[in-house]
Structure 1
Amino acid sequence: MKLEWQYSFTSKSLKFDKVVKYSIDLRKGSPESSDVIQGIIEIRPAVNKDNSSTTSGTIAVSIPFDIEKGTPIAHRIAYDFGQRMAFEYGDFQISWALLFCERIPENEQEKEEIGDLTYHILQISLQTVPEKQQFNPGELDSPELPNYNQVLLRLFNDSELKADIIDKYLTRFKILETEFIDNNSRVPAKKQLKSSATLRNVFYSAATSKSCNQSAFEGLIDRFVDARGKCAHLKRYKYGYLPGDQRLKELEHLEFELRELCRALIKA
């Protein structure tokens, strides 16, 4: 039975008039290994019915592995392929919100075995859309607007616009780096952050009563810095976080905590 991992893509800089297929070689063990497994990548453009300037379609990755073993490999292949396309041709984005694997029977017996259950959903990422706030002009009727740090404010707003959770987290973390981390110092980032009385007081002001203690503060700093390492230094953490990684759920929760801390810091 053939398995095919499928990913949606969009591009504003490319137009495809047909399906494009590439063969890929996967080497077991080291790159010098002579044991080669072959796979296929296909670009399947969707029919553009509304003459939109944006091209969309599907990236299909076919490799000879089962779902459990093949999923992280297929994710990595799709991610690397998308990065190569973006580098060579400009805008090319793969969506990691809905990921699934199609089981394609190759004989009558396999057709009977799977029946209509040809698709296996790997991941669905849903995001709650917050209700719109009613603007109150009176809130700005003060003699002076709050004198926020413009550098931190721009970093915060830039992170809000990032669609990719890894980019969002790294941009948000720069707020802490800008304020509290001296990259030329030999003192580890965790220690620099934990020793900041300003950051600790902001944490206490924003934390709930259950988490308002030194141990909770230091634990959160540890998680912030470790996650930043996983986002930015992939090899050190066995490739760290990659799009489609199931561990991104934990990063989403941590990013929210970082957002609230940074927001409180800017307003302090």
Structure 2
Amino acid sequence: MKTKWHFHFQTNDFVFEKEHKFIGSANGLNVNIAENLPENLELEISISPDKEKNNPNAEQTGTLYITLPLTHDEAKPVIHHLAFMISQKIAFDHGDFKLLGGLLVCERLPETPEEIEEVGDTPFSVVVNLVEAVPPPKFDSQKFAKKSEDSIDFRLVTQHNEARNTKNAIAKFIAFFKILESQFPPTHKKQHIKDTLKTNSDLLNVFTSIFEFTTEEEALQGFISFIDSIVHARHRCAHLKVNKNFGYLPFDPKIKEEVEPFLGPLEALTYETITKLSKSV
């Protein structure tokens, strides 16, 4: 017996131009799958946009279908987590993608005469009170379907999505910086974060693959200057000492000079470090 689960979704800053279908194993999603998900679980994913959106405030609406070789009771413990993982991967690569609350439909797909008799005329069941599964360009199906031997760390994917959706510049900066702190910890107890980042060759390689420089020396100097600037800004974002005139108050003009210019580069850098360097646990 297979089951096909229906999740309604909406997007706000990208669209699916057509229906996309994927067949493979859950491990091929390039995300860290739930511990209680069966190993090498085969699944089918279909992303079907509505011909006419049903929410005027959304860019697009549609239905995400997940078909599993599991019965309703077998799939129920993992389907929400699996849908959450898929949604986070789409949001991480493309933009604001939300699964909607309300009714979750499960369609039973019998494969044997006995199962056909069991299902009868009632293949559908409904689960109520589904909570939203995703915290706040065109869809690239190849990027979504890309497989790798090692999955990226799903915890950092959710952190990156949260940072990108944060509106406050200071909170957004700190949220992106936390990713760097997590990925590049000090090599010894008393090492300063600035030295940790400056001496990490993997981070340097990712940095120089994103931003263009004419010479290696120029690239190294650009990297060092970038680290100096973001560590300085991070310290002022995280700490406020008004008696010493240190830190950023709301509407501080220095935020536009010392914080906002680095939000785009930090978003790009952390996206690449998560994609290329992080491993699932």
User: Into which bin does the TM-score normalised by the smaller protein fall?
Assistant: 0.3 to 0.5
Compare relative contact order (CA 8 Å, sep 6+) and give the higher one, 1 or 2: 2
Q: TM-score, normalised by structure 2?
A: 0.44
Q: TM-score, normalised by structure 1?
A: 0.46
